[in-house]
Amino acid sequence: MPVVSLSRADLEDMVGVNVDTIVEVLPRLGADVECVGEEIQVEFFPNRPDLFSVEGTARAIKGMLGIEKGLPAYVTSPSRIEIHVDPSVNAVRPYVVCAVVRGITINERIIKSLVDLQEDLHWGIGRDRRKASIGIHDLSKVCPPFTYSINEVAFVPLDFSEPMTPAEILRAHPKGKQYAHVVGDHHPLILDANQEVLSFPPIINGELTRVIENTTDLFIEVTGIELKAIQDCLHILVAAMHDRGASIETVDIVYRDDHVLHTPDVTASTFVVKNSDVIQRIGANIEQDELTTSLQRMRMDADIRAGEVKVSVPCYRTDIMHPVDIIEDVAIGFGYENLPFSSPKLGTIGSRLKEEQRSTVVRAVLQGLGFLEVVTLMLASDPEQAVIIENPILEEHISLRTSLLPGLIDTLALNQHREYPQMVYEVGDVVRLVADVAEERRLCAGVIASSSTNFTEIKQVVNAVLRELDRPFEVTESDDSLFIEGRRATIVVDGQVVGTFGEINPDILVEHKLIYPVSAFEFHLSGR
């Protein structure tokens, strides 16, 4: 979950209340306040990237507190600036959307907020810049119209002083090395009318258009591989700048003469939800007034007519895909603490799985025989006949266990300083690979470690457990090297080998630094 750092002073100023009220409201929006200092660290849900900034959080809190109500009004005017998209970019990063932001005096606070938001969007929506990446530029330094094309023009990248070609940047610049895999051999550049480079998305901007204090006019471009993702980023950014008092202008994105996009499009989208659906899904009898107020708290407008609500959703709410998303906002605005008690009367009759019941019986029998139950991890180190993990974290956790006995012997090894005799068992699942298919099975296994344990004792245990399960069985000699030759046997039920038992091979005991004899058994309770 993304943790966003917000300047406390900036947030207090933008909302107009002190930090205590802010900290109290945030959880009601589904946010988790992790720490409050000069900076407030807040964990937001990943579906609300519009909250990843001081501006967006302030806007939402003002709604919850009733300081501002309903849909925030966003307007744009045309800038007449064009950007021409060359088809050559189709191979790597086909889409770009842009906006012009004017009449804002950039200060330190705004720069910090913008840079943080940009980074959080690169993660939250951009999936580490792959799906979307953002460039913010000082518009006064360049000359439109712009072009977006595959190119090899050299330029001075941010934080450098010498011009470099895109290929050199991928080799030598830290950001170039980090993100080279996103572009490969195609190097998309945004250039101005004089062939000056604004940016090499998604790698780095040019030093030329660096935004500094007192910059007043911004050019924002977002490039990527999905139009919706880059529009989402742009809407969140311009909404934030608008909240800071800036005016927003559209840019003409010229794909072909007959295919021009005007971005950003800040019009609110409309969803129609039935009153009855809201009441039914939430389970509270929410009256019309309450419904309207709840939505207004969430910065939406509601127009209720003939049992239907027409909801206007602001452009930055990128998470709203379906009327049910609106219903959740009603619930949040209404308050989860206000949900009434109501219990579904379905008249179902509960029951347990046969297999689990059988496990319960076996556990009771083994406990009756004096065995102590343990639970061990299912991750194991033995690749033999096992399911193999492609991306393990530890060498000893590369597979799923195919037997419970190694875990039980490890348990004995952990307990060699504890009083003997020790009798432990586990009933649990293993997974075996049979003809490339993962077969899950419920097994039961036990070990006895004591100075006097032997084959006879463990055979008595096996006899007792299988008698209680009403499973007649035969015994044949085994060749399992876990046990001592001549003191090991297989358990055969209906002609099928279902388990083994015997005295554990002392070489294996010594490997585990165990110094008392250990006898052991293991058998299948069932397949699945």
Toward other proteins, which CB reaches closer, 350 or 472? 350
Give the dihedral sign, CA 66/69/70/72.
negative
**Least distance between other proteins and beta carbon 240 (Å):** 21
Which two structure tokens, joined as six digits, stand for 14?
Answer: 């933008």
DSSP code, position 367: H
Q: Count Cα atoms within 13 angstroms, Cβ side, for 294.
A: 25
SS3 label, residue 97: strand
CB 268 within 8 A of CB 314: yes
Q: Kindly calculate the radius of gyration of the chain based on its CA atoms and give it in whole angstroms.
A: 33
CB 222 within 8 A of CB 133: yes
**Least distance between other proteins and beta carbon 185 (Å):** 22
Toward other proteins, which CB reaches closer, 42 or 164? 42
Toward other proteins, which CB reaches closer, 113 or 411? 411
Q: What is the largest CA-CA distance in the chain?
A: 93
**Least distance between other proteins and beta carbon 436 (Å):** 6
**Least distance between other proteins and beta carbon 219 (Å):** 27
SS3 label, residue 247: strand
Toward other proteins, which CB reaches closer, 192 or 426? 426
**Least distance between other proteins and beta carbon 172 (Å):** 26
Burial class (CB in 10 A: 0-12, 13-18, 19+), 58: buried
Toward other proteins, which CB reaches closer, 260 or 438? 438
SS3 label, residue 169: helix
Residues 6+ apart with CB under 8 A from 295: 70, 301, 302, 309, 311, 326, 329, 330, 333
Looking at the DSSP bridge assignments, the partners of residue 97 are 222
**Least distance between other proteins and beta carbon 394 (Å):** 8
Toward other proteins, which CB reaches closer, 99 or 229? 229
Q: How far is CA 290 from CA 28, 98, 293, 301, 355, in A?
A: 17, 39, 5, 13, 50
**Least distance between other proteins and beta carbon 389 (Å):** 5
Which two structure tokens, joined as six digits, stand for 356?
Answer: 């689990």
**Least distance between other proteins and beta carbon 59 (Å):** 17
What does the alpha-carbon distance between residue 203 and residue 504 come to, in Å, rounded to a whole number?
A: 60
What does the alpha-carbon distance between residue 434 and residue 527 come to, in Å, rounded to a whole number?
A: 13
DSSP code, position 416: T
Toward other proteins, which CB reaches closer, 27 or 184? 27
The dihedral region occupied by 463, where left means phi > 0, alpha psi between -120 and 50, and beta the remainder, is: alpha
**Least distance between other proteins and beta carbon 363 (Å):** 6
DSSP code, position 93: -
Which two structure tokens, joined as six digits, stand for 287?
Answer: 């009256």
**Least distance between other proteins and beta carbon 107 (Å):** 33
Toward other proteins, which CB reaches closer, 218 or 400? 400
Nearest C-alpha neighbor of 184 from the set 130, 228, 233? 130
**Least distance between other proteins and beta carbon 47 (Å):** 5
Toward other proteins, which CB reaches closer, 475 or 515? 515
Toward other proteins, which CB reaches closer, 47 or 149? 47
DSSP code, position 32: E
Residues 6+ apart with CB under 8 A from 270: 310, 311, 312, 313
Toward other proteins, which CB reaches closer, 77 or 269? 269
Looking at the DSSP bridge assignments, the partners of residue 520 are 447, 502
